[in-house]
Structure formats: C-alpha cells, structure tokens
Amino acid sequence: MSLDINKEKLIKEDKEHLWHAVSKYHKNTVPMIAKSGEGGWFTDIDGNRYFDGVSGLWCLNLGHGRREIAEAAYEQMLNLSYFPLTLSHEPAIKLSAKISELLQGSYTTFFSNSGSEANETAFKIARQYHAQNGNPGKYKFISRYRAYHGSTMGAMSATAQANRKTKYDPMAPGFIHVPAPYRYRSSFGDASDPELLAANYIEEVINWEGEETVAGVILEPFMSGGGVIVPSPQYLTRVAEICKAHNVLLIVDEVVSGFGRTGKMFGFMHSAGVEPDIITMAKGITSGYLPLSATSVKSSIYNTFKEEENDSHFRHISTFGGHPASCAVALKTIEIIERENIVKQVEQNSRDILSELHTLEQLEHVGEVRGIGYLYGIELVEDKQSKKPISDEAIANVIAKCKEKGLIIGKNGDTVPGYSNILIMAPPLSSTEEDLHFLVDTVKRCLTPLV
C-alpha cells in the first residue's frame, strides 16, 4: 500500500516538476521510472526488468553496480572533494596522461562535463589556434548532414538535423554541412564510390568557401545518432588527407565511439595512420557513472597555447570540468576496460552479432543492417524497392514490442520529418553472452511479424 502511494506521488511530481529531455509531454502516459540496476539490466518501480539495449544514452558501457567504480568516487570525494583545474589535482593529471597513452600519440586534454561542451571547447581551441598562427580568418566548421554533435549553441550548429534546430534559429554563424558517406541513401546517385565522393565533397566546399576561412571539420568516425553510418576506413583517411592539405583541423567526435564501443579503443583507429588534431570524448569515459568529457589536442596545437611572452593562453573554464571524483571514476573505468579485455571482446563478439542481424535483411521491411562493434542500426522501409521509410508509428510499434518482451532499444534522432526510421542498438560493452543473445533474439522476434 505504501509503495503505491509513493508511486502515485512520484508520478504526480514527475508530471509537475521534472522536464524530460526531448520527450513530448503526454498527459495520460506514465513515464518509465527506473529504480535499480544490475549489469545491463534495470528494474522499474513496478518491478519489471529490462535489458538496456542502448546503454542508457550509449554511455553505461560497463553496466550498473560496479562497486569498484562507486568506491573510486567515494574515496575521492572524501579525500579531495573539489579542486579547480585553473590549478591541478592528481586524478586529472593521471587521466590526461592515460588518455594520451590510449590515443597513441602526444595529446593534451581539457576537461569539461558533457559531449556538447567537449565540442564547444574544440571549436574555441580551433579558432584560437588559427588566429594565433596568423590565420585569423579561419573560423568556419564543416560537419555532415544527419550528424548530432550536441545541444549547446555551437554543438547544435554543427548538428545537421533540421528538427533539432528550427525552433532555435538562428544558429551560430560559420557552420556548413556536407553529405554523409551514406551508401544506402547516397547523395551521389548511383556512383560506385559514394564514400569517396562524400569525402572529396569536403575538399570542394573548402575550396569554394576559401581555405583561408575554414577552421575545422568535425565528424564522428561512425555516425551514431544520425542512423549508424559505417563508412569504410578509407573515408576517414581521405578526409584526414584533405584536412591536412588545407590546414583545416580534423576534429573527431568520439563521444559515442570512444572507449571501445566500435571494437577499437577509439573509432578513428579503424583507419590506420589517421591522427586527428582534436578528439572529443564523453559518455563511456566514466561508463556514465559521473559526468565528464574531454577535448584532447595534439601537442603541436597545444604548443601554440604555451607561448609565455604573448597572450596565447586559452581563455576557457568549466567549474566542474575535470572534477576529481569524475576523473577518479574515469581512471577506474579505463582500468576495468583494460583488465577485462573489453575492447577485444567487443571486436570478437560483434562479428557473430552482426551476421545474425544481417539475416534480417531477407525481410521486406528491412532495408539495411549496419553496424560496428556494439553499435547497430536497422533501417526499416516500406519495401526494398521504394526504400520509403516506414512510418513513425510502425517503428514505435517495434520498439514497444521489444519493451513488452523486456528489451529497450532506440531509433535514430529527428533528422528530417519522416526519416526517423532506423532502429538503434548499443548494448553495454560488458554484456554477457546471454544478454547479447537475448538482444538479437528479441529484435528478430519483434521484426519478423512485420512482413
């Protein structure tokens, strides 16, 4: 009885006081309220158990309830509860060095709290870098249509999904969009190598805008929220070449793909020889246990901010960025990823999962299955010939059916109206074999009756 009263009160207070992210308000719908979690599973206040096939918001990479992560935060909070990074503290120093080691280069890191902030930081660094290197006119950024880079003004301006932006126009000036390397719906007709054309298009834009005006290109190595777009490794290699040739910084958004999601520690590492100028990270860096993000910059760029005799320092600050407890949690998260050989496991298991999911392509409503590591997209269409996206209602039905069977999956964000037709899965990287089997099996069962 007391539980029910508590539940009623929670729902009432939720409706009145809690503003939910992106969700529409529904007077008569009760939101799912989670109560506890264990591994990749969570339980709601009614006692229903669900497998989280999207790792929260693609961040809960090691699952719920890792005692050693919680203890790392607890001990750090008792020992040094807060300290600003205008000065320094041990967890941030150690984490910045560890990130540089993981990136396999010499990188210096600025810490913030979210992926959006990490990208904002990258834009400011890029503009200042060019300005103090004799190129004050280099201020524009190129990003790809469909991409999501965050919700703050600059990150939203780099985001190229109309529905997320139109109510908030005008965007920040200087953000230009180009086609994604999206083979299934290519912007380049029937061309045999649309990915190469998509990469070369970036060069065309740089030339037409004037390379003296372009500061950077920002991209995810594998577009996640934009619909799981997985180009061949050569795409990023070609973009990197173009950036280098035009003195344009390559900013790789590893907010989703970082820390093992794609079967390598970072997504850009699938393209041998690519060394991004700036790499942004968040989400998996703490496995979602505490907020933290990072903007890591090649030493050659950071060096230009170190000139003591002129005014070259970075005038940027974040009160909570690099919080000692968040850094301690990140260090513990990375320790577990390495100790448990998580990245290798993701790489190995993903082959079986993908080949299972590919069998769905026999269904008339499955246009294409795409994926890498533990990141999967299933593009649903009315029929294979027309490739017309299935309706919002039909995809919502599939997601609801999975939920009834205890599986949470997602779909791609609001790109343009009618194109939210891609089922998305991104299970925790520490999922058990049984968990993964449950994910694949449930998705298959929920899709099959669509035919």
Spell out, one character per residue from 45 to 64, where the chain touches ligand PLP: x when CB under 6 A holds, - when not.
Answer: ------------x-------
Q: Based on the shown chain and the rule CB under 6 A, indicate whether residue 253 belongs to the binding site for ligand PLP.
A: yes
The alpha carbon of 79 is separated from its chain's Cα centroid by a whole number of angstroms, namely 32
The stretch near ligand PLP (CB under 6 A) out of 81-89, 249-257, 315-323, 383-391 is: 249-257
Q: Based on the shown chain and the rule CB under 6 A, indicate whether residue 410 belongs to the binding site for ligand PLP.
A: no
Strand order from edge to edge, sheet including 375-380: 366-372, 375-380, 422-425, 410-411
Applying CB under 6 A, which of residues 125, 156, 256, 329 lies at the interface with ligand PLP?
256
Q: Which of 130/283 has CB closer to ligand PLP?
A: 283
DSSP state of 29: P
Distance CA(253)–CA(57), nearest Å, equals: 16
Q: How far is the CB of 119 from ligand PLP (least distance, A)?
A: 6
Distance CA(112)–CA(290), nearest Å, equals: 12
- Cα 153 to Cα 7, 131, 144, 150, 376, distances in angstroms: 37, 21, 17, 8, 29
- The token pair at 50 is 């669900």
Q: Which residue has 């008569």 as its token pair?
A: 28
Applying CB under 6 A, which of residues 55, 96, 116, 412 lies at the interface with ligand PLP?
116
- The token pair at 206 is 């740089």
Q: Which of 144/365 has CB closer to ligand PLP?
A: 144
Comparing CA positions, the residue from 401, 405, 385, 404 lying closest to residue 393 is: 401
Q: Which of 74/168 has CB closer to ligand PLP?
A: 168
Q: How far is the CB of 112 from ligand PLP (least distance, A)?
A: 9
Distance CA(263)–CA(397), nearest Å, equals: 30
Q: How far is the CB of 21 from ligand PLP (least distance, A)?
A: 9
Any residues with CB less than 8 A from the CB of 126 and at least 6 apart, and which?
Answer: 138, 141, 215, 216, 249, 251, 277, 278
Question: Is 415 within 8 Å of 163 (Cβ atoms)?
Answer: yes
Q: Which of 264/365 has CB closer to ligand PLP?
A: 264
Applying CB under 6 A, which of residues 115, 181, 260, 322 lies at the interface with ligand PLP?
115
- Cα 6 to Cα 40, 56, 88, 392, 415, distances in angstroms: 26, 25, 44, 34, 38
Q: Based on the shown chain and the rule CB under 6 A, indicate whether residue 258 belongs to the binding site for ligand PLP.
A: no
- The token pair at 3 is 């539980």
Q: How far is the CB of 351 from ligand PLP (least distance, A)?
A: 24
At residue 165, the 3 state secondary structure works out as: helix
Q: How far is the CB of 150 from ligand PLP (least distance, A)?
A: 4
The stretch near ligand PLP (CB under 6 A) out of 252-260, 298-306, 325-333, 429-437 is: 252-260
Q: How far is the CB of 309 from ligand PLP (least distance, A)?
A: 36
Distance CA(294)–CA(272), nearest Å, equals: 23
Applying CB under 6 A, which of residues 225, 288, 410, 427 lies at the interface with ligand PLP?
225
- The token pair at 121 is 């930081």
- The token pair at 85 is 């990074």
Q: Which of 178/446 has CB closer to ligand PLP?
A: 178
- DSSP structure string for 55-105: HHHHT-TT-B--HHHHHHHHHHHHH-----TTS--HHHHHHHHHHHHHHTS
Comparing CA positions, the residue from 242, 177, 175, 238 lying closest to residue 207 is: 242
Applying CB under 6 A, which of residues 150, 179, 367, 373 lies at the interface with ligand PLP?
150
The stretch near ligand PLP (CB under 6 A) out of 109-117, 165-173, 262-270, 441-449 is: 109-117
Q: Based on the shown chain and the rule CB under 6 A, indicate whether residue 120 belongs to the binding site for ligand PLP.
A: no
Q: Based on the shown chain and the rule CB under 6 A, indicate whether residue 294 belongs to the binding site for ligand PLP.
A: no
Applying CB under 6 A, which of residues 282, 294, 331, 443 lies at the interface with ligand PLP?
282
Q: Which of 53/360 has CB closer to ligand PLP?
A: 53
Applying CB under 6 A, which of residues 96, 114, 143, 431 lies at the interface with ligand PLP?
114
Q: Based on the shown chain and the rule CB under 6 A, indicate whether residue 255 belongs to the binding site for ligand PLP.
A: yes
**How many binding residues for ligand PLP (CB under 6 A)?**
16
Q: Which of 280/442 has CB closer to ligand PLP?
A: 280
Q: Based on the shown chain and the rule CB under 6 A, indicate whether residue 224 belongs to the binding site for ligand PLP.
A: yes
Distance CA(234)–CA(232), nearest Å, equals: 5
Question: Is 347 within 8 Å of 432 (Cβ atoms)?
Answer: no
| Paired residues of 255 in beta bridges | none
Q: How far is the CB of 416 from ligand PLP (least distance, A)?
A: 18
In the bound state, the residue with its beta carbon closest to ligand PLP is 115
Q: Which of 55/442 has CB closer to ligand PLP?
A: 55
Q: Where along the sequence are the contacts to ligand PLP (CB under 6 A)?
A: 57, 114-116, 119, 148-151, 220, 224-225, 253, 255-256, 282
